[in-house]
Amino acid sequence: QVSVLYFARSAELAGLRCETLSVPRQITSLQLWEEIVKVHPRLAVIRDQVVFAVRQEYVLLGDQLLVLQPGDEVAIIPPISGG
Protein backbone atom coordinates (compact mmCIF):
# COMPACT_ATOMS: atom_id res chain seq x y z
CA GLN A 1 0.00 0.00 0.00
CA VAL A 2 1.20 3.48 -0.86
CA SER A 3 -0.03 6.92 0.12
CA VAL A 4 -1.09 8.93 -2.92
CA LEU A 5 -1.05 12.70 -2.50
CA TYR A 6 -2.96 14.89 -4.93
CA PHE A 7 -2.06 18.52 -5.54
CA ALA A 8 -3.77 21.43 -7.34
CA ARG A 9 -5.78 20.26 -10.38
CA SER A 10 -5.22 16.58 -9.60
CA ALA A 11 -6.89 17.10 -6.20
CA GLU A 12 -9.83 18.83 -7.88
CA LEU A 13 -10.23 15.99 -10.40
CA ALA A 14 -9.81 13.19 -7.85
CA GLY A 15 -12.03 14.93 -5.32
CA LEU A 16 -9.58 14.38 -2.49
CA ARG A 17 -6.10 15.32 -1.32
CA CYS A 18 -4.75 11.93 -0.24
CA GLU A 19 -5.62 8.26 -0.02
CA THR A 20 -4.02 4.87 0.40
CA LEU A 21 -3.98 2.53 -2.61
CA SER A 22 -2.87 -1.07 -2.97
CA VAL A 23 -0.58 -1.49 -5.97
CA PRO A 24 2.02 -4.07 -6.98
CA ARG A 25 5.38 -3.66 -5.24
CA GLN A 26 7.22 -3.56 -8.57
CA ILE A 27 5.47 -1.43 -11.15
CA THR A 28 6.48 1.00 -13.86
CA SER A 29 5.60 4.65 -13.38
CA LEU A 30 3.17 4.44 -16.32
CA GLN A 31 1.45 1.36 -14.86
CA LEU A 32 1.17 3.15 -11.53
CA TRP A 33 -0.50 6.11 -13.27
CA GLU A 34 -2.91 3.70 -14.99
CA GLU A 35 -3.80 2.11 -11.63
CA ILE A 36 -4.57 5.56 -10.20
CA VAL A 37 -6.66 6.51 -13.26
CA LYS A 38 -8.72 3.32 -12.81
CA VAL A 39 -9.74 4.66 -9.41
CA HIS A 40 -10.13 8.27 -10.61
CA PRO A 41 -10.90 8.28 -14.37
CA ARG A 42 -11.21 12.08 -14.46
CA LEU A 43 -7.43 12.32 -13.95
CA ALA A 44 -6.88 11.02 -17.49
CA VAL A 45 -7.23 14.56 -18.87
CA ILE A 46 -3.95 15.67 -17.25
CA ARG A 47 -1.91 12.62 -18.25
CA ASP A 48 0.44 14.48 -20.59
CA GLN A 49 1.15 17.22 -18.07
CA VAL A 50 1.47 15.34 -14.80
CA VAL A 51 4.67 14.56 -12.91
CA PHE A 52 5.03 11.99 -10.16
CA ALA A 53 7.19 12.33 -7.12
CA VAL A 54 7.97 9.01 -5.43
CA ARG A 55 9.63 9.35 -2.04
CA GLN A 56 10.04 13.06 -2.88
CA GLU A 57 11.97 12.39 -6.11
CA TYR A 58 10.53 13.32 -9.50
CA VAL A 59 9.66 10.46 -11.83
CA LEU A 60 8.48 10.80 -15.44
CA LEU A 61 5.64 8.61 -16.70
CA GLY A 62 7.11 5.77 -18.70
CA ASP A 63 8.93 2.46 -18.43
CA GLN A 64 10.94 3.34 -15.32
CA LEU A 65 10.55 0.50 -12.83
CA LEU A 66 9.59 1.56 -9.34
CA VAL A 67 10.12 -0.69 -6.34
CA LEU A 68 7.60 0.54 -3.83
CA GLN A 69 7.73 -0.08 -0.12
CA PRO A 70 4.64 -0.11 2.11
CA GLY A 71 3.89 3.43 3.18
CA ASP A 72 5.79 5.12 0.34
CA GLU A 73 4.40 8.47 -0.73
CA VAL A 74 3.46 9.05 -4.35
CA ALA A 75 2.63 12.67 -5.18
CA ILE A 76 0.63 13.59 -8.28
CA ILE A 77 1.86 17.01 -9.37
CA PRO A 78 0.08 18.68 -12.29
CA PRO A 79 1.54 21.75 -13.97
CA ILE A 80 1.35 24.76 -11.71
CA SER A 81 0.89 28.14 -13.30
CA GLY A 82 2.10 31.22 -11.58
CA GLY A 83 2.47 34.86 -12.26
10 in a structural domain: yes
Position 79: which residue type? P
CA–CA dist 33, 51 (Å, integer) = 10
Looking at residue 73, which CATH number applies to its domain? 3.10.20.30
82 in a structural domain: no
83 in a structural domain: no
pLDDT tens per residue across span 43-82: 999 998 888 899 999 998 899 999 999 999 999 998 766 5
Question: How many structural domains comprise the chain?
Answer: 1
Give the predicted TM-score (pTM) of the model. 0.89
Give residue 63's domain range: 2-77
24 in a structural domain: yes
Task: Check pLDDT > 70 for residue 83.
Answer: no
43 in a structural domain: yes
